[in-house]
Chain A
Amino acid sequence: MTDGRVPAGVSDGLLVWPLSMPLTPVDTLETPSAEREYVWTLNFGPQHPATHTTLRLVLTLDGERVLNAVPYIGYLHSGFEKLGEHLDFNQYVTIVDRMNYLSPLANEIAWHHAVEKLLGIELTPRCKYLRTILAELMRMHDHLLNLGTTALDLGGFTAFLYFFQQREHIYDIVELASGQRFHTSYTRVGGVLFDVNTDWINRVRKFIREFPKVYDEVDRLLTKNRIFVDRTKGIGYLSRDEVINFSAVGPVARASGVERDLRRDEPYLAYADLDFDVICSRGGDCYARYLVRMQELLESLKIIEQAVENIPGGPVNIGVESDMVLPSKPSVYRSIEGLIQHFEVIMPNRGYEVPREQIYAATESPNGELGFYIVGNAETRAYRARTRPPSFIHFSMFPHMIRNHQLSDVVAVLGSINIIAAELDR
């Protein structure tokens, strides 16, 4: 395996220190010997504007060259998985929201995707399309922030502002659907909280019309920008084999030539009906990851456009005949069946049949495969709710990616793997 360096033809003229690291732990620091007295240590974080979240790195530096990086995580650990064993399937969605808080709805959809698979629920066509639109909006939401802040850290302020303006539009769309801008808690077992109306559809259409203009502007600002390209090209290189060996997924893996996208390979929701491309690159560096994310924005837009125009009518939630789903509010207030059903689902000593089984189900979240391993124990809450967090997996590669780069490349690499500490620590 290479050492986070670009393999061929790149020589920085500096002392080549560990060309091939022996198979020692990535986190172990070598004791500085007499001839390495010039090695110094820098503490980066846990509160630093360029980490964007709460994480800490201890960097061992030779001048400005990074010899080693040791990540310390857990500052935001709040026992989400423990809470998942004490909250029921609908309540836990509020916690799942707060994992990757850049794309809260994508987490909710992933969680309820796994729960519905455990319970064996088939969603209504309208709900599938609605969730698909929301999942793709969240992908754009996440990528816009990631691309914007990466540019910001590398000195490009304008792109950040342009993209944040578009994120505001997505916030508005989400607010119109769920009543909440950020932590929406919108999905429920077997459906969503409220149905959307034509106003909402028109708002999404307006966003689809207006977004390409801003995209083009940012594309012109960054993609061929000399400074941006110099700061990202050849930085944080990962080969295809390394990516697979490190279990990386999503845009990070696709930028290194792994052709895998759960939307195409294990279609869920309405993805099987929609036409889109899986974006890959062979570059493997920060620039390739930037390009993949930029292209995925357009693919997401394409998916949203198709889904919005073809969204089927009919009910958004599965009917009251299934005893697992919360009835709609009007039916709770106006019919005895709805009231009984609401009572049965909400009260802790009632509930419904849950298989005593284990299941793993994953969706393609903006960061990669977000999966849940759920153990059911005949209660309406999970016996064990394991999250497979993409940030956690990606951050474990960081020491490997940054080794032998410059100190200023730390922010470029951190940005390109999109670490969200709340998901990292859970």
Chain B
Amino acid sequence: MVCLTELQQKFGSQIVESHFRDNRRIDITTSILLPLLTSLKTEYGFNMLVDLTAVDWLEYDGATDRFSVIYLLLNLDSGERLAVRVPVNLPDAVLPSVYGLWRGADWMEREVWDMFGISFSGHPDLRRILMPEEFDAFPLRKDYPLKGRGERHNFPVITRSGS
């Protein structure tokens, strides 16, 4: 069981804990993200990154930040779960990559980059993964319309003579 006071002593009091049903979450700031995750992995046994995802808060009442990135961790020995949430804001939507801690973060970070435009510094291969390379928007952002911006109808046509 992670002790909140222990973490607060280590990283200052920038950690806020909350619960909902059986989910336990901690909210942190970007500056302590990597040291905190490293410490959770090496000292507290959170050896698996279950999921890495983001939420766009643009249309959410009362939200102060534009995005949150959520790291869902799991301690395989005790079965304990922990969600680590970190706010991200434009125009400088960059987080340190956790590829060095968990190889599984490779494609998850690529998906968050692809869908939300949050980039991860230190990721060795940050390319689009689901959308085509030439796509120039981030579809899961709330300011991107459900039906798209006409990309489907404006695909470049490669003809035999023109290629």
Contacts and interface: CB of A to CB of B under 8 A. Distances in A.
Nearest to B100: A23
Interface in B90-105: 102-105
Contacts of A377: 60-61
Given A25-B124, A358-B20, A86 B130 contact: no
Contacts of B131: 74, 77
Given A244-B48, A247-B48, A359 B23 contact: yes
Given A28-B125, A245-B102, A245-B104, A360 B23 contact: yes
A244 B21 contact: no
Contacts, number: 107
B51 A388 contact: yes
Interface residues of A, number: 50
Interface string B77-114: 00101010000000000000000001111111001000
Nearest to A23: B124
Interface residues of B, number: 41
A300 to B, nearest CB: 22
Nearest to A265: B79
Interface stretch (A192-200, A331-339, A345-353, A368-376): A368-376
B38 interface: no
B20 A357 contact: yes
Contacts of B70: 358, 373
Interface in B112-142: 115, 124-125, 127-132, 139-140
A266 B20 contact: no
B46 to A, nearest CB: 11
Interface in B21-35: 21, 23, 25
A277 B107 CA distance: 32
B16 interface: no
A173 interface: no
Contact of A247 (B49, B83, B124): B49
B76 interface: yes
A329 interface: no
Nearest to A264: B79
Given A81-B140, A86-B146, A392-B107, A384 B56 contact: yes
A117 B81 CA distance: 16
Nearest to B79: A265
A74 B129 contact: yes
Contacts of B108: 247, 393
A153 B81 CA distance: 38
A358 B68 CA distance: 12
B36 interface: no
B104 A247 contact: yes
A359 B51 CA distance: 13
Interface in A3-29: 23-28
A26 B106 contact: yes
A373 B102 CA distance: 20
Interface string A203-233: 0000000000000000000000000000000
A242 B48 CA distance: 11
A249 to B, nearest CB: 8
B21 A117 contact: yes
Contacts of A426: 130
9 contacts: A23-B124, A25-B106, A28-B124, A74-B131, A77-B131, A359-B21, A360-B83, A369-B50, A373-B70
Interface of A: 23-28, 73-74, 77, 79, 81-83, 86, 117-118, 120, 242, 244-249, 258, 260, 265-266, 355-360, 362, 369, 371, 373, 375, 377, 383-384, 386, 388, 392-393, 395-396, 425-426
Given A82-B146, A360-B83, A393-B107, 16 more contacts: A25-B125, A26-B125, A27-B125, A73-B129, A83-B146, A359-B20, A360-B81, A371-B51, A373-B53, A373-B70, A375-B60, A388-B53, A393-B104, A395-B107, A396-B107, A425-B130
